Amino acid sequence: MTIQEIKLRFGIIGTTPQLDRAIDIAVQVAPTDLSVLITGESGTGKESFPQIIHQLSARKHGPYIAVNCGAIPEGTIDSELFGHEKGSFTGANEARKGYFEVADGGTIFLDEVAEMPLATQARLLRVLESGEFIRVGSSKVQKTNVRVVAATNVNPLEAISRGKFREDLYYRLNTVPIVLPPLRDRRQDIHMLFRKFAADFAAKYRMPVIKLLPEAEHMLTSYYWHGNIRQLKNVTEQLSIIEKSREIDIATLSKYLPDFKTSASNMPVLARGEAGASDPREREFLFQLLQQMRQELNDLKGLTMQMIQAGGRITPEILSQNAPVIQKHFSDVKSQTSSNGESVVIHSPNWKDSNEEIQTHEEVVEDSLSLQDKEIELITKALEKHRGKRKNAAKELGISERTLYRKINEYNIAG
């Protein structure tokens, strides 16, 4: 069965490579009995993948039970999962089978598994390792043959570091990991999902389908989507029910998107709390930027030393050896040829002939290695170069407009 057939069968919409990769892993692991841990933010559609795994496995004719571990009170979760004997606690008027006993021969999906109490996590670990469990209030060991698929919307490693999640249980569940991307990393899928939801709600409420005008569509795809697909679906339903006009403009849509700042320049979204967030892509960009700056500093240092030795002048030999550096940093350098034609000297108005001046400039460069200072300097230069056009400045810097706006606000840069 192809990925496209899987999407059609289970109602999955999107063409993002990360989504296709997650589906492919689910298909590959389905015929096995390996445990699977699905991670991703709330609302990313994790509940579809246990069904894919179950329906494509040899257990598809067996029971499939989905359990939201975060919704079960701590005092009753052991009874819900493993069952209890009559009289084992107040209100236990009769013996009851737990989910692991009922799902014997099938698949159990444990959603929000990291919300389990630690004592329950220990009992779950025993089921995973030996297939054994004990009902609450009993001493009899029972066996079950259940395939476990778990999911969580928190970072398991952070939960382990806080003492909220057992490390041995994490590695036992994480035999095969599936990671679902947030909706903001699936920009090309957002409008496709909106159209599907709009058509569904139009049929459900027997009304014309709502459509987005171009500016509203751009706003929709630019939004951060804290609640991911679930939030997008809710917004689409609200628009379908409340708005009389079937054509949604940017002003109408903005009323349904919290924290979205609208202006003449159509500013990108600044996510709540994002200023303190640590985006891996942004960290990678900053490290690359730092390495680039260090390389440039080394190039300039070498050029400076050669100029000192040449009496503060850029000779033809220096020019030929450092042409890329000079062209990049000294665009106003001009060539002058002596009357006898024996030598060519290149002068720059920004450089003085004093060795002391050059050495002082070199020391300033050496001292200015603060990453924040360099960020401010580069952003300021980019804004000046593009006359305050932030879209062009962001493109020049190799970052998103959203990141540029955040940096401008964070560093209080005039632009």
Q: Please state the domain extents for the chain.
A: 3-181, 184-272, 280-411
Our measurement of the distance from residue 67's CA atom to the centroid of its chain's CA atoms, rounded to an integer in Å, reads 26
DSSP code at position 14: -
Our measurement of the distance from residue 51's CA atom to the centroid of its chain's CA atoms, rounded to an integer in Å, reads 24
Q: Please check the confidence at residue 306 and state whether its pLDDT lies above 80.
A: no
pTM comes to 0.62
Our measurement of the distance from residue 100's CA atom to the centroid of its chain's CA atoms, rounded to an integer in Å, reads 34
Tell me if the domain spanning 3-181 has CATH number 3.40.50.300. Answer: yes
* CATH architecture of the domain formed by 184-272: Orthogonal Bundle (1.10)
- Percent of the chain whose predicted confidence (pLDDT) is above 70: 78
Q: Report the C-alpha gap between 190 and 221 in whole angstroms.
A: 6
Q: Please check the confidence at residue 300 and state whether its pLDDT lies above 80.
A: no
Tell which residue, 209, 182, 183, has the closest CA to residue 196: 209
- What are the pLDDT digits (tens) for 344-392? 444 444 444 444 443 444 444 444 445 677 778 888 888 888 888 888 8
Tell which residue, 83, 81, 55, 52, has the closest CA to residue 68: 81
* Residue 198 burial class via C-beta count within 10 angstroms: exposed 0-12, middle 13-18, buried 19 and up: buried
Q: Which residue has the tokens 């593009």?
A: 386
Tell which residue, 230, 181, 210, 190, has the closest CA to residue 14: 190
Most confidently modeled range among 79-93, 195-209, 369-383: 195-209
Q: Report the C-alpha gap between 253 and 160 in whole angstroms.
A: 40
Q: Do domains 3-181 and 184-272 have the same CATH topology?
A: no
- What are the pLDDT digits (tens) for 131-141? 999 999 999 99
> Pairing state of beta strands 334-337 and 344-347?
antiparallel
Q: Report the C-alpha gap between 320 and 312 in whole angstroms.
A: 16
SS3 136: strand
Q: What is the pLDDT of residue 170?
A: 96
Give the pLDDT band of residue 291 (cuts 50, 70, 90).
low
Q: Report the C-alpha gap between 154 and 236 in whole angstroms.
A: 26
Our measurement of the distance from residue 294's CA atom to the centroid of its chain's CA atoms, rounded to an integer in Å, reads 29
